[in-house]
Amino acid sequence: MRSKRILKLDKPLANFSVAVDTREKMPYVFKHQITAGLKQGDYSLYITSEFAEKLKAESSFPARQIENGYILDNFVAIERKRNTEELYSCCAGQRRRFEAELARLAAVPHTLIICEFNFSEIDMLDIRVKLGARECVYGSICSWIARYGTPFLFAGNRILARAATFTFLEKVIKNHFRFCF
């Protein structure tokens, strides 16, 4: 069942494409995607200028214009974390920068922090990185969710994280742009 869902990731998103930030290292690849500078997050949605006219007429339009279309990173944004060490760096040396990112994401209606690892893998930080690192990460995650409201999703691996990224974007489209279907 799971493999069938993952295979559907290359289907079109009803006049939308996945927008991938230009700064994203090792980005997920989708059949229908564009690369653009996102103001927040690593992944969002893109629509062409022609389709944007229909959106403007039928709903609120939380997008910003780029060359050939519009980016919806003010409406939906996904931030990706590759491993526990990257997440730990957000709790330690990069904390100020990451909290500024979370503050920007707090203004976006639909956000997600997608992690390519299991929550239980954080336990290994005390062995691999530094004693006390896991408590730092656990406490930070809980604090950030309470303060900024952006949920963390621990997908378990890169393949499932890519699937969750696509599914989240798809659900935002289906729930907020119903007339597209």
pLDDT digit string, tens, across residues 72-93: 999 999 999 999 989 989 998 8
Q: What is the DSSP string of 29-61?
A: --SSEEEE--SSSSEEEEEEHHHHHHHHHHS--
CB 78, CB 51: distance < 8 Å: no
CATH of 2-180, one of 1.10.1740.10, 3.40.190.10, 3.40.140.10, 3.40.50.10130: 3.40.50.10130
Q: How far apart are the first and last CA of the chain?
A: 24
Whether the full predicted model's pTM is greater than 0.75, yes or no, is yes
pLDDT digit string, tens, across residues 5-24: 544 566 666 678 999 999 99
Domain ranges of the chain: 2-180
pLDDT digit string, tens, across residues 39-49: 999 999 998 87
DSSP class of 91: H
pLDDT value for 117: 96
Q: Which of 181, 174, 41 is nearest to 105 (CA)?
A: 41
